[in-house]
């Protein structure tokens, strides 16, 4: 069978992502000590390559199993790269409280990067390509509903100043309910692209074997690289005199979030705006529920008992800012459309807050996000009534149906 240029390019990308992970595996097996700057680059590239492999494997697996099981598995595996780094930090924090700020740094950075860069980029690129605003399908109002609930709850965390098992109970429970509600939705064929499309065209036996190998290899690379990558970032900050919190907050998520954003951009270039923005909305729900909710669990296990992670002033500010950004993003999506102007505002507010990293700027941007959110939701009664309220009400309706079963 003749391989087209596009197929050849896809296989090449697949091979590159595998090869960039090999040096990290060798270094872990050989147990070599490296300069933290070199370690952060090598293991960061390994996580980046493995994250792409995971993303492609997640797309392919939807061809193999039932829709509801695929939703659960993809949602779990999709946060694996980000989860591995944060899980290591949370585990280490159980024995060394110095690491507690790094846990929230990585978590807040990943969530804000996904919206500030991911959502805004796909919306702007879609407008350039199509000349109109990007939309999500009405069926994906489920994701937005759960994102609303998770965001509203997230404001409680900085108020009480801790991240505890109570938060885990609510957020992980919300994630489970989200998976159940999503599985009841209308079933539609999965949209796959790039290397995933090549793998999907293989015969069933070969396709399954390749998918299992990708998952296994990527998981080994990610979990073996999480520790040296995180420690490399912290060490690099000390060597260069840069705030370690900032490095963990922004450099670590760049590796883990890049595949999701890249795949969304490919969807945009294929004129599939619904799939592009929809995939990033789902990713935000996964991170805001499952990722955040499991951190106190890991911390408690490491601690050897029920543990509560205390949040200092900096952590409280960062979580508040992340919650406020999420609320504003939801407000922009209240009519299931992200306009060009909305995307520009999202991007500018994200980028400019990085230039002035201090307490008053974080509180100021938080207040601005909340003010803009209220303005958007209150200026149009129709917009408010048919979207946020209706979607959240549907979540509780679904929950009542679940209890009756």
Measure the CA–CA gap between 174 and 285, rounded to whole angstroms. Answer: 10
* pLDDT tens, residue by residue, 116-130: 999 999 999 999 888
What pLDDT is recorded for position 199?
A: 87
pLDDT tens by residue, 13-64: 889 988 998 999 888 888 777 888 888 889 888 888 888 888 788 778 777 6
Specify the residue for token string 């919306």. Answer: 123
Q: State pLDDT tens for residues 359-398.
A: 889 999 999 999 999 888 777 655 554 455 555 555 555 5
Among residues 62, 20, 55, the alpha carbon closest in space to that of 194 is found at 55
How many Å separate Cα 402 from the centre of its chain? 27
What tokens appear for 180 in the block? Answer: 């159940």
Between 314 and 31, the higher pLDDT residue = 314
Of the listed ranges 110-124, 217-231, 255-269, the least confidently predicted one is: 255-269
Distance CA 122, CA 294 (A): 29
pTM of the predicted model as reported, rounded to 2 decimal places: 0.84
**What single DSSP character describes residue 115?**
I
- Mean pLDDT of all residues in the chain? 83
Confidence (pLDDT) at 390 = 54
Between CA 60 and CA 211 the distance in angstroms is 7
How far is it, in rounded angstroms, from Cα 313 to Cα 320?
11
E strand or H helix at 309:
strand 309-310
**287-298: average pLDDT:** 92
Strand, coil or helix: 204: helix
- pLDDT of 241-254, one tens digit each? 788 888 888 888 87
Judged against a pLDDT cut of 70, whether residue 340 lies above it is answered with yes
Mean of the pLDDT values across residues 177-191? 67
**What is the spatial distance between Cα 353 and Cα 347, in angstroms, rounded to a whole number?**
10
Let me know how many helices (H) and strands (E) the chain has, helices first.
20, 4
* Cα-based distances in Å from 327 to 55, 340, 370, 374, 392: 27, 18, 7, 9, 14
Domains, the chain, with CATH or none: 5-404 (1.20.1420.30)
Contact 233, 34 (CB under 8 A): no
Angle at CA of residue 135, ends 133 and 141, nearest 5° = 150
Residue 404 has pLDDT above 90, yes or no: no
- pLDDT greater than 90 at residue 72: no
Predicted pLDDT at 402: 47
pLDDT, tens digit, 9 for 90 and up, residues 140-182: 777 888 898 999 999 999 999 999 999 999 999 998 888 877 7
Q: Region 232-259: what's the mean pLDDT?
A: 82
pLDDT exceeds cutoff 80 at 69? no
Q: Report how far residue 217's alpha carbon sits from residue 2's, in angstroms, rounded to the nearest whole number.
A: 28
């Amino acid at each position: 069978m003749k391989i087209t240029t596009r197929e050849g390019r896809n296989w090449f990308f697949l091979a590159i992502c595998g090869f960039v992970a090999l040096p990290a595996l060798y270094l872990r097996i050989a147990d070599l000590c490296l300069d933290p700057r070199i370690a952060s680059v090598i293991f960061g590239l390994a996580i980046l390559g493995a994250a792409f492999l995971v993303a492609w494997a997640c797309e392919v697996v939807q061809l193999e199993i039932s829709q509801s099981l695929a939703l659960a598995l993809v949602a779990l595996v999709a946060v694996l790269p980000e989860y591995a780094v944060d899980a290591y930090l949370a585990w280490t924090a159980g024995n060394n409280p110095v690491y507690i700020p790094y846990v929230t740094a990585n978590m807040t950075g990943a969530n804000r990067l996904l919206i500030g860069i991911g959502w805004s980029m796909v919306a702007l690129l879609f407008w350039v390509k199509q000349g109109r605003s990007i939309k999500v399908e009405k069926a994906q109002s489920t994701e937005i509903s759960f994102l609303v609930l998770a965001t509203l709850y997230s404001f409680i965390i900085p108020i009480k100043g801790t991240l505890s098992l109570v938060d885990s109970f609510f957020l992980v429970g919300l994630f489970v309910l989200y998976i159940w509600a999503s599985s009841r939705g209308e079933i539609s064929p999965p949209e796959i692209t790039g290397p995933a499309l090549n793998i999907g065209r293989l015969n069933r036996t070969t396709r399954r074997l390749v998918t299992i190998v990708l998952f296994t290899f990527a998981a080994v690379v990610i979990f073996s690289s999480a520790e040296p990558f995180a420690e490399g970032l912290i060490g690099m900050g000390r060597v260069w005199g840069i705030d370690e919190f900032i490095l963990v907050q922004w450099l670590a998520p760049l590796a883990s979030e890049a595949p999701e954003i890249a795949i969304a951009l490919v969807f945009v270039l294929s004129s599939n705006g619904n799939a592009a923005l929809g995939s990033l909305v789902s990713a935000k729900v996964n991170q805001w529920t499952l990722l955040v909710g499991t951190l106190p669990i890991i911390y408690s296990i490491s601690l050897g008992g029920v543990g509560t992670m205390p949040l200092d002033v900096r952590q409280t500010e960062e979580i508040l800012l992340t919650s406020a950004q999420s609320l504003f993003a939801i407000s922009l999506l209240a009519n299931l459309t992200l306009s060009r102007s909305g995307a520009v505002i999202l991007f500018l507010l994200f980028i400019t807050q990085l230039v002035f990293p201090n307490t008053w700027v974080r509180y100021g941007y938080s207040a601005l996000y909340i003010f803009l959110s209220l303005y958007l939701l209150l200026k149009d009664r129709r917009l408010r009534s048919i979207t946020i309220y209706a979607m959240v009400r549907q979540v509780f309706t679904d929950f009542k149906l679940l209890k009756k079963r």
